[in-house]
Structure formats: C-alpha cells, structure tokens
Amino acid sequence: MNILKNFSKEGQKLPMFGIGPYLIYGTAFLNAIVIVLTSYIFKVGIMEDIWVWIFRIAGGLVIALGVFIWYIGAVRSDMDENITENKLKTDGIYSWVRNPMYTGCWFIIIGISFMWHNYWVLPMIIVDWAIITIVLKNTEEKWLLDVYGDEYAEYKKRVNRCIPWIPSKKKLEL
C-alpha cells in the first residue's frame, strides 16, 4: 500500500500531496528539537536585550512572507487543477520558485524558530534547506521529470527550487 497515492481523478499521474506533509512536519519537528535542546535543556545561545526584538521582528516578517508565498502557491495558483489535468505549472509564482508551498512552509518554520531568539536556530536555515533539497531531488523532481520530461528539465534550469527569485528576461526567453 502506497501512502503517497492520493489521486483525485482517474488518469492523474501525480499525487495531490506527495511527500510534502512528511517533509514539512519532519523539518518542523527537527527545528522544535533544536529549540527545546538549546533554549530549555542546555540553555545555550539565548540572546538578550535588543536581539530579542530583532529576532522576533525578523521572525514575524519571515512568517508573514512564508504565509504569503504559501497562499499564492497553494490557493491562488489553481495548482490542484494542474495536478489533476497533468499539466506542468510554470506561470505566476511558479515562475519565481518551483516549490512555493514548500518555500512558504520553510519560511514559516524559520520565522517561528526566530521567536526563541536563540542563535542556534540560524544554522537550521541551511540544515532545513539541505533536507528539503535532498528530499525533493530524490522524490518529486524525479516524478516530475518522468511525467514531463524535457519540459520539466528546461523549467528546472530557469527557476530555483526553494528560494524565490525574479525571473530574468534572458531566462524567460529560453
């Protein structure tokens, strides 16, 4: 039994949710472990004074950005329709980042982690990115390449996996 099979339509080639929930909950859990260990058990890396507010304001801004990116990618993009119709989504926010829902969740996790104003959460940005990259390269990107072939290979060359970037005109003309 494949728990990743969550098709909503006959002939749909990709699962609606894929590896996403496992990846995001796992990453969030790892960040929670780091916060608990550093802030409550070992009590190391806790910042004070102005740094508390800098981290909390930055965290709030990153959370807001993450919610915005996730909302545009998940709700406003009609991605569900593209999945059920077996169409590769490359416009809108998907022309800025290939995985806006993962990016949004990643930013939300980073922002929440910042609320503990502990400098040990900073390396977690890179650790989270590495985990997301490794998992996506070995799961969803392989699935998409199998389904869309050269179209997806060209799309990967133009658009970043997790870090949103305004597409350049040169990349758009390809």
How does 83-94 read in b/e, with b if 16+ C-beta sit within 10 Å? bbeeeebbeebb
DSSP 94: G
Cα 67 to Cα 39, 75, 140, 152, distances in angstroms: 26, 11, 22, 26
The residue-averaged pLDDT of 151-165 equals: 96
Residue 51, Ramachandran bin (φ over 0: left; ψ between -120 and 50: alpha; else beta): alpha
What are the tens digits of pLDDT across the range 45-96?
Answer: 999 999 999 999 999 999 999 999 999 999 999 888 888 889 999 999 999 9
Evaluate whether residue 147 is within a structural domain.
Answer: yes
CA distance 114 to 161: 23
Residue 7: alpha-carbon gap to chain centroid: 21
What are the tens digits of pLDDT across the range 20-34?
Answer: 999 999 999 999 999
Evaluate whether residue 11 is within a structural domain.
Answer: no
* CATH assignment at residue 70: 1.20.120
Task: Indicate if the pLDDT at residue 1 is higher than 50.
Answer: no
CA distance 136 to 111: 22
Evaluate whether residue 103 is within a structural domain.
Answer: yes
Look at the chain and report how many structural domains it folds into: 1
Evaluate whether residue 10 is within a structural domain.
Answer: no
Evaluate whether residue 13 is within a structural domain.
Answer: no
Evaluate whether residue 153 is within a structural domain.
Answer: yes
Residue of higher predicted confidence among 158 and 8: 158
CA quadruple 73, 162, 89, 87: dihedral positive or negative? Answer: negative
Task: Indicate if the pLDDT at residue 154 is higher than 50.
Answer: yes
Q: pTM for the full model?
A: 0.90
Evaluate whether residue 15 is within a structural domain.
Answer: no
Six-digit token pair at 135? Answer: 């998992």
Q: Residue 76 is part of which domain span? A: 20-173
* % the chain with pLDDT above 70: 91
Please answer whether residues 45 and 38 qualify as being in contact, where contact means their C-beta atoms are separated by less than 8 angstroms: yes
Task: Indicate if the pLDDT at residue 2 is higher than 90.
Answer: no
Evaluate whether residue 12 is within a structural domain.
Answer: no
The residue-averaged pLDDT of 139-144 equals: 95
